[in-house]
């Protein structure tokens, strides 16, 4: 049976300060992300036992549990390198991504305003995403509820921005807008550009 493992953060826990605190990063990575890894592995184990006839399962419940936890793990694995330490992140994108954003959104500022709106208005727990949708061959913004609802099939994640309260509440309390504003200071544009380069022909 194949299992998932928690990847290490690509920088120190305090590397995103003052925008995102060491306490948030430590809990978010070591507890929350680890929880999704454990949850996905537990669901995989149940599926494995069910195939061997060792366990009676509610297949719908397990697949829902698996989808939630596996997507939670995968999105967090994309989220950590979406950010970069102070001095290396933030600012404006370059490369192909800058051209594609200008072409699909009109300008970087228009993209940023729409992405911030999407971030601030996720209902409950979820994500704001920049994805490349290959059927219409364009970048679009999407909102994912929980980790897996409203997913757009085949789309490649260019930027995933975690809007679950665990990613900001300890530092920003109820002011999600302030977290969204601060988050732009740690975006890793070169990672985003590299992801786009892998999917655009
Ligand atoms: Mn999270």
pLDDT tens digits for range 74-90: 999 999 999 999 789 99
Whether the CB-CB separation of 145 and 167 falls below 8 Å is answered with: no
pLDDT at 35: 98
141: phi then psi, degrees, rounded to nearest 5: -95, 140
Q: Which of 177, 146, 168, 166 is nearest to 75 (CA)?
A: 146
Query: Ligand 1: distance of its center to the CA of 4 in Å?
Result: 17
Query: Ligand 1: distance of its center to the CA of 77 in Å?
Result: 10
Q: Which residues pair with 144 in a beta bridge?
A: 127
| pTM greater than the 0.75 cutoff | yes
Query: Ligand 1: distance of its center to the CA of 51 in Å?
Result: 31
| Half-sphere exposure at residue 139, Cβ-oriented, CA atoms within 13 angstroms | 28
- Quote the CA–CA distance of 156 and 26 in Å, as a whole number: 27
Query: Ligand 1: distance of its center to the CA of 60 in Å?
Result: 24
Query: Ligand 1: distance of its center to the CA of 164 in Å?
Result: 6
User: Residues within 5 Å of ion ligand 1 by Cβ?
Assistant: 162, 164, 167
Q: What does pLDDT average to over the chain?
A: 95
pLDDT tens digits for range 133-158: 999 999 999 999 998 888 888 899 99
Query: Ligand 1: distance of its center to the CA of 8 in Å?
Result: 15
CA distances from 96 to 42, 93, 194, 195 (A): 40, 9, 9, 10
- Residue spans of beta strands (DSSP E) within 90-137: 126-133
pLDDT tens digits for range 113-133: 999 999 999 998 999 999 999
Query: Ligand 1: distance of its center to the CA of 25 in Å?
Result: 10
pLDDT grade, residue 11 (50/70/90)? very high
Count other C-beta atoms under 10 Å from residue 17's C-beta: 17
Same fold for the pair 22-82 and 95-199: no
CATH number for the segment(s) 95-199: 3.55.40.20
Pick the CATH number of 22-82 from 1.10.10.410, 3.40.50.10860, 3.40.50.1010, 1.10.287.990: 1.10.287.990
Query: Ligand 1: distance of its center to the CA of 28 in Å?
Result: 6
Annotated domain spans of the chain: 22-82, 95-199
Count other C-beta atoms under 10 Å from residue 152's C-beta: 16
Query: Ligand 1: distance of its center to the CA of 40 in Å?
Result: 15
Q: Could you tell me what percent of the chain has a pLDDT over 90?
A: 93
């Amino acid at each position: 049976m194949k299992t998932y493992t928690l990847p290490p953060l690509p920088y120190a826990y305090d590397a995103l300060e003052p925008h995102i605190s060491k306490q948030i990063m430590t809990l978010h990575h070591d507890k929350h992300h680890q929880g999704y890894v454990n949850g996905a592995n537990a669901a995989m184990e149940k599926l494995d036992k069910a195939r061997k006839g060792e366990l009676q399962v509610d297949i719908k419940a397990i697949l829902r549990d698996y989808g939630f936890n596996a997507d939670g793990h995968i999105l967090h694995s994309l989220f950590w390198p979406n950010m970069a330490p102070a001095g290396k992140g933030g600012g404006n994108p370059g490369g192909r991504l800058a051209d594609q954003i200008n072409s699909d959104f009109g300008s970087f500022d228009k993209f940023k305003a729409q992405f911030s709106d999407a971030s601030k208005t996720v209902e409950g727990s979820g994500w704001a995403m920049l994805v490349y949708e290959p059927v219409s061959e364009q970048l679009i913004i999407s909102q994912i509820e929980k980790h897996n609802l409203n997913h757009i099939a085949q789309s490649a994640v260019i930027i995933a921005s975690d809007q679950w309260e665990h990613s900001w509440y300890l530092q920003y309390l109820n002011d999600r807008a302030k977290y969204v504003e601060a988050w732009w200071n740690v975006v890793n544009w070169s990672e985003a550009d590299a992801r786009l380069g892998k999917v655009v022909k």
